[in-house]
Structure 1
């Protein structure tokens, strides 16, 4: 790893990571590993995931070793730099307490005369991706301590290291405050979005418009026209079926099979603006659902050509493609059916936040049974944009309608009986236009927020890059060069080692003296 070394600022020098102090692997070779006797309340036991989630400062732990566990492990002191070498490669964090950890973590205990541990941890962050490249392409990626032994660290004078750490943390604090402020924006945008939809369906958004347009056709007249149009289209379709089957009817009794939508009682519903009316979904839409053909039946899926939609796709407002396809045989032999373009799909159940979501089909497609399909055709298609907007607005309320156990669900009856406030058609157009403009503004804010967050991430990387090029803080001429300090520490270590070696030799000679035997002064 020395091929990529670049020229350093004056007073800096390169040093191998292993020469900064003690570099040791953790120890957890217990058998069995999950023996409950190993765990207790004696010393914290850190795992790779806790290093990865630490943000560089390890302050939490989920397990503790017992005295037995510690006896079979190794305790690392507070301030140790932890480096993961398995699972999450080269994640780093500094221990905020004495702890043990497994052999999937390497601990670096720096000589604080030579290196500031926070400076070294920040540097290791900058080479994380480089270290990860040394991991073999296996199911369990890992590196070894020999790779860490070959890492060269650009080392400034110790006082400059401390100034760099102070500056990094000062700048990081600023970016964290900025990020915290940015993190609140999506929630504010969502609240604004809901507020816009709420005032739209209370009529507040178009109050001035109504004053300027007092003579528009009331919604009650529009709903009556939709009612007549739906019946007429049903009769035309039924007559075509009778004709196609060769059945000639001279009477009109067949028309009695048409089921009129139930009239609603709006007595308990909130009062609406002038010329608005309440209507249930089944008054203006045909409501149905799909099915899931048997998964173990190849003829329903192999070489399928019909898009098949599940509730997971409803997290987008529009659906123009499918992840799965079924065959025409599946349509013929199961309850699956093809819905036309512009059908509104409402998720009746699904994981997480899916239930209650609404989306519009931009393709002809079948669905599974988790989706309610609202088909607004003929004159009813004119109010489709408003109905879609209403389901977006009522997302939270619709979820509350759901009943059930662990995963509460909606059903078709709930969807059919949902009440929608219907303004006059001209006012609907105005509402859609105003809401669309406001939603576009929200989208611009959200995109700008994401762009700024990305810039902050790049800024943090840029700060570290400048730090290790020597460009983040000014150099002080009085700082002792790192190379001089390093040489002095080496000399001290060598002197200490020689002294220890001499002491060991003396101890060995003394151990050879027979008990009771004297020795001559000056020759010991």
Structure 2
């Protein structure tokens, strides 16, 4: 026996080999391939995935009829599911078992989650479950244990649901902050402040004109005799009216550079330069521990259009479309697939630019331009024609400061929620562990001991077999 099976069980409990107390439900020609799953159907498909119901089907010939509760075990994933209705089994790595009458099915479901199985990756695990031992309490006590587990889980689940609701509320709060910021409602309006203080200010329209004039002047100095090409001006007819002093700034107008990633998959290595793609970004942050590396040669190839620097903004135009992050200082990075990069003009706060790209106001624009049914994406030419609401520069700075303050508070609250959710999961496992060890509820000495129950069932089985044998002899 393994160490867990050396646990000292209560006096009227017994250890049992798992293989001796289960019946395997035959699944030959009764499994459904994942590619055949439907969104709707007569029968739910139960497989070894994290989601309880993987899909649906109308294939009645594959149905596993519900006579008593069944346990679905993921041979690859070790996921355990309790099923008490008709269903169809998913094809990949599904084992369906039923505990014998000595075990209350609901308790068996809870207890097999307490058996430590080796982690063999995507290899088969059912063989280890069959060879394991499981504690068997008296039958009346099994029902009492389940009653107590589910009482505790009900209270725990209520708390978890409250935490998840709070987390969802934080997500809405973040969007509300960004919406207010990009509609001019988060901080005092620069035009109103200037008027109240009796001073001049530079409206965003004047700021944009100055940026464009400076860009043209610099280009013409470097390209004498050549014709200057104006940046793409956005179509703003269908965009909302902006606060006083604000102006719609086209992305092509307010960016020094807009570059796309190379349309090739880089060769990744164990160490080197960071390659940033949609696998390692969340809204507003690069998750460097999830980033992959490329060699110096690959890095140089991928930055030949423009070397990213601190303050540049990365934007996902495929996959997790709409995710925007800013390049932090002291990191050498290149663009992976599905990414593009902006470098803003002087007079544009790059942090404000990033926030505007994350806002619902900008999302409403790019959602209209998504193409591709297999891999949805936005063409870079379409993005250049989009616009963000542009406040005066001093107001941009104030907005960034206030958004960062609000989102920092939200981040701290989210950390607390995530910590509490992890604590709840640890408590759930602790409840199951105490139940598994016979420490969750007190034992009743009046209960028929598990050993006596087993002997009685064996005797009844032997009696039935003897009677059946006698009948056959008389025929």
Deviation at 1:486, TM superposition (A): 3.6
Q: Deviations over 1:45-76 (max 9, x none)?
A: 998x5366686xx999747564xx89xxxx88
Whether 2:138 is the aligned partner of 1:141: answer no
Measured after TM superposition, the shift of residue 161 of structure 1 is 1.2
**Does residue 1:440 correspond to 2:408, yes or no?**
yes
Root-mean-square deviation over aligned CA pairs: 4.4
Deviations along 1:490-510, one digit per CA (max 9) or x if unpaired, are: 444444445555x26xx54x5
Q: Is the counterpart of residue 169 in structure 1 residue 150 in structure 2?
A: yes
The whole-number CA distance in structure 1 between the counterparts of 2:54 and 2:252 is: 57
CA distance in 2, matches of 1:328, 1:105: 46
What do residues 125-161 of structure 1 show as CA deviations (whole Å, max 9, x unaligned)?
Answer: 111x42x45x7x8x742444xx656543322222221
Contact (CA 8 Å) 1:289, 1:369: kept in 2 or not? no
Q: Which of 58, 67, 91 matches 1:78? A: 67
1:87 matched to 2:76? The reply is yes
Structure 1 residue 207 displacement after superposition: 3.2
**Which residue of the partner structure matches residue 426 of structure 1?**
394
User: Offset at 1:459?
Assistant: 1.5
Alpha carbons 2:260, 2:380 under 8 Å: kept: no
Instruction: Say which of 163, 166, 170 aligns to 1:189.
Output: 170
Give the Cα separation in 1 of the matches to 2:54 and 2:382. 49
Conserved 8 A contact 1:11-1:481: yes
For 1:251-270, list aligned pairs within 5 A.
254=224, 257-261=227-231, 269-270=239-240
| Residue 114 (structure 2) aligns with | 126
Q: Give the distance between the partners of 1:344 and 1:184, measured in 2 at CA.
A: 31
Between the aligned partners of 2:88 and 2:338, the Cα distance in structure 1 is 50
> Is the Cα contact below 8 Å between 1:291 and 1:367 reproduced in 2?
yes
CA displacement at 1:461 relative to structure 2: 0.9
Counterpart Cα distance in 2 of 1:46 and 1:211:
60
- 1:226 counterpart residue number: 211
Distance in 2 between the 1:197 and 1:375 partners? Answer: 21
Show structure 1 runs of 5+ residues with no match: 35-43, 240-253, 512-524
Do 1:293 and 1:330's aligned partners in 2 also have CA atoms closer than 8 Å? no
Q: Once the 2 structures are TM-superposed, how far is the Cα of residue 338 of structure 1 from its aligned partner?
A: 3.2
Contact 2:247 2:389 (C-alpha < 8 Å) held by counterparts: yes
- The Cα offsets for residues 330-365 of structure 1, whole Å up to 9 and x where unpaired, read as 759x984434442223333x12xx223323234565
- The answer to whether the 8 A contact 2:70-2:82 is kept is yes
Count matched residues.
Answer: 453
Match for residue 366 of structure 2 among 378, 399, 417:
399
Instruction: Please say which structure displays the higher CA radius of gyration.
Output: 1
> Any residues of structure 2 matched to 1:1-80 within 5 Å, and which?
1=1, 4-18=5-19, 20=21, 23-29=22-28, 50=47, 62=57, 66=61, 78-80=67-69
Distance 1:327 1:316, change over 3 A: farther
- Selected match of 1:159 from 140, 144, 164: 140
CA contact (8 A) 2:31 2:88 kept: no
Aligned twin of 2:312: 343
Residue by residue, what CA displacement relative to the aligned partner does 1:222-265 show, whole Å, maximum 9, x if unpaired? Answer: 334433443454356x27xxxxxxxxxxxxxx266344446778
Whole-angstrom distance in 2 between the partners of 1:491 and 1:328 = 74
Residue 276 (structure 1) aligns with: 246
Aligned 8 A contact 1:303 1:327 in 2: no
SS of 1:375's equivalent in the other structure is strand
Contact 1:291/1:335, CA 8 A, preserved across alignment? no
Q: Could you tell me which of 374, 384, 387 is aligned with 2:350? A: 384
Does residue 1:110 correspond to 2:68, yes or no? Answer: no
Q: Which residue of structure 1 aligns with residue 321 of structure 2?
A: 355
User: CA 1:104/1:395 → structure 2, altered by over 3 Å: closer, same or farther?
Assistant: same
Q: Kindly indicate whether the alpha-carbon contact (under 8 Å) linking 2:261 and 2:340 is maintained by their aligned counterparts in 1.
A: no
Give the 5 Å matches for 1:504-519: 508=473
Is the Cα contact below 8 Å between 1:337 and 1:366 reproduced in 2? no
Cα distance 1:401–1:372, how it changes in 2: closer, same or farther (>3 A)?
farther
Q: Write the distance in 2 (CA, Å) between the matches of 1:369 and 1:123.
A: 45
Aligned residue among 453, 469, 474 for 2:442: 474
Determine helix, strand or coil for the equivalent of 1:160.
helix
Shift of 1:186: 3.6
Separation in 2, partners of 1:302, 1:467: 47
* TM-score where L is the length of structure 2: 0.77
Does the Cα contact within 8 Å between 2:47 and 2:94 map onto a contact in 1? no
Query: Equivalents in 2 of 1:6, 1:258: separation in Å?
Result: 82
Aligned mates of 2:425, 2:215 — CA distance in 1: 56
Query: Residues 477 and 449 (structure 1 numbering): CA distance in 2 closer, same or farther, change over 3 Å?
Result: same
Q: 1:158 to 1:211 in 2, by over 3 A?
A: same
Answer yes or no: is the 8 Å Cα contact 1:261–1:283 preserved in 2.
yes
Shift of 1:440: 0.8
Distance 1:266 1:18 in 2: 70
SS state at 2:444 partner = coil
Superposition TM-score, scaled by structure 1 size: 0.70
Separation of aligned partners in 2, 1:478 and 1:78: 31
Q: Does 1:459 align with 2:459?
A: no
Matches of 1:490 and 1:294, distance apart in 2: 67
Residues of 2 paired with 1:411 and 1:289: CA distance? 12
